[in-house]
Chain A
Amino acid sequence: MSFLELNNVSKGYGRAGQRTEVLKDVNLSIEKGEFVAIVGYSGAGKTTLISMIAGLLSPDAGSVHCNGHLVTSPDPERGLVFQNYSLLPWLSVYDNVALAVRQVFPQLSKQQQREHTERYIAMVNLTPAMHKKPRELSGGMRQRVSVARALAMDPEVLLLDEPLSALDALTRATLQDEIARIWRESHKTVVLITNDVDEGILLADRIIPLSAGPNATLGPATAVDLPRPRDRKTLTRDPKAKAIRLRVIEYLLGEGRRKAPKAKDAVAQVEVESPLVRALREQVAGPLTTPAT
């Protein structure tokens, strides 16, 4: 059995009658130390998927196993970085991280707990802002606190739920590099949820597309066998990276986009093109059709 394994996981919301099946028969196995990116549409159920891995939600059918046992509730062994940071606004950066440290390592002395907390704040380069409140920080800094809090629990698996989607492009690039560095240093198992294929290519060992919902499911995995550390400037021109991007996007625009069409939905599906689909189309049209120089 793999380190993290999902078997035929399904999850829906709503009462009988008007129920929406969000995820259907999701299968996933991740090895220890692997960095996996799950790429998918907004609203496809990415957050639902990672909440089930975290144990915040329980699947309607199927099972989630981690480290050899069944996941039934959240546990610090699976550190979760929330999409919207979820820092406690009345606590300073230090106290937000220290809350996690004191809870997960009660056996350590006060001094050791403080050193541990400070080490992880330093890891995300926030030592100067240690005693600030979250509202005094930029979005990127807040997300780094959230990453530090998750890492400070020394989890077996780090779950990143679109951690960078709310940030501007420059901050996102900086944080992507930081995540890459932290992963190199710690070699944790990482599951990254994202809607940015290039982010997956930059960071992950494997990219798995999630088809559009309802009844979303995971598509075929694509291995990202590019040498590390990766550089985003050369990646845009790397033929291997282009091939990976094309494969993932083709699935998302092709097979992953088709849904079992109900008569009343058919028109809407043709007309509505989500911003992601448009962005993906442009990406395909962009670097791949420009004549090779």
Chain B
Amino acid sequence: MKRFPFDWLALPLVGLIAVGLLWVISCSTWAPNLPSPVKTWEMSRPYIVEPFAKRGELDQGVLRFTWYSLILVSKGYFIAILIGTPLGFLLGSSKTLTMMFDPIIQFLKPVSPLAWLPLGLVLFGKSEPAALFTIALCSMWPTVVNTAVGVRAVPQDYLNVARVLKLSKFKTLTKVLFPATLPYMFTGFRLSLGIAWLVIVACEMLIGTPGVGGFLWQEYNSLIYEHIILCILTIGCVGFILDRLMGIVERRFAAA
């Protein structure tokens, strides 16, 4: 491909304009219910201009909703990491455990959050623990699998160093296994965070707590379709930023 000055800015802009045109053409031809970009901006303005405003329980600025969602997602995500990382270490260090549980993990991985949530509601009765249960259960697997792969990939040389130095089991874990596995773990953490954010929206739509997902569903029910688009854009932006931030952290550890 030929490179030219500012292609890193120009090319994405061309793509953006193309999608925008498709949007404009669609809403004026075959999709009359789809709000136009201009209409969307007009209707969304109060939510964007005052992003932290709180006019009522279900009428708040878009960043305020995002904040609620982020808090819920981080709670569920930390549960996932707290359980997933040791689980990954166990699976990575024992062939027996891997053979025992790998089929179950492969089997549970593709189950949709929409399927776990009702079970969470049955188990915990309340909506927030049910949401956390769902987020943790869905987003845990990349952490488990990547940590296990990382533990298995620790070079025998490092373990030989630990043996020659007669490091205790605990010290071998903290001084050799853990640092050697960190890059893999962070790849797992990044993928998990992506899934956790994906799941939160589905959760909020079902349990109706205030947040981006809850707002989206409520505005669908109130027939304000412009806000659906506002929510989609917000979710996309936040997901993108989270992934980039985790990518930076991941690279830092991969380089170590």
Contact = CB atoms under 8 A, between A and B. Distances in A.
B164 interface: yes
A73 interface: yes
Interface stretch (B38-46, B154-162, B195-203, B242-250): B154-162
A235 interface: no
A104 B256 CA distance: 26
B166 A86 contact: no
Contacts of B165: 76, 99-100, 103-104, 153
B163 interface: yes
A97 to B, nearest CB: 11
B164 A56 contact: yes
Interface in B169-188: 171, 175-176, 179-180, 182
A89 B179 CA distance: 9
Interface of A: 54, 56, 73-76, 78-80, 82, 84, 86, 88-91, 99-100, 103-104, 133, 153
Interface of B: 157-158, 160-161, 163-167, 171, 175-176, 179-180, 182, 256
Contacts of B167: 103
B176 A88 contact: yes
Contact of A90 (B157, B163, B164, B256): B256
A214 to B, nearest CB: 22
Nearest to B255: A135
A84 B256 CA distance: 19
14 contacts: A56-B160, A73-B163, A74-B163, A75-B166, A76-B165, A78-B164, A86-B157, A88-B158, A88-B161, A88-B176, A90-B179, A90-B180, A99-B165, A153-B165
B166 A76 contact: yes
Shortest beta-carbon contacts, A-B, top 6: A86-B157, A74-B164, A90-B179, A74-B163, A90-B256, A103-B165
A100 B167 CA distance: 9
A84 B164 contact: no
Residue among B158, B164, B176, B256 with max Cβ neighbours from chain A (10 Å): B164
A91 B179 CA distance: 9
Nearest to B179: A90
A84 B180 CA distance: 17
Contacts of B176: 88
Chain B binding site: helix, strand, loop or mixed by DSSP? helix
A76 B175 contact: no
Contacts of B175: 88, 99
Nearest to B157: A86
B166 A103 contact: yes
A82 B160 contact: yes
B164 A54 contact: yes
A102 to B, nearest CB: 9
Contacts of B157: 82, 84, 86
A236 B203 CA distance: 79
Nearest to A133: B256
Nearest to B182: A90
Contact of B163 (A56, A84, A133): A56
Contact of B164 (A76, A88, A89, A133): A76
B163 A88 contact: no
A71 to B, nearest CB: 12
Contacts of A80: 160, 164
Contacts of A153: 165
A75 B162 CA distance: 10
A48 to B, nearest CB: 13
Contacts of A104: 165
A14 to B, nearest CB: 18
A133 B255 CA distance: 11
Contacts of B161: 82, 86, 88
A74 B158 contact: no
A49 to B, nearest CB: 15
Contacts of B160: 56, 74, 80, 82, 86
B177 to A, nearest CB: 11
B256 A86 contact: no
Contacts of A74: 160, 163-164, 166
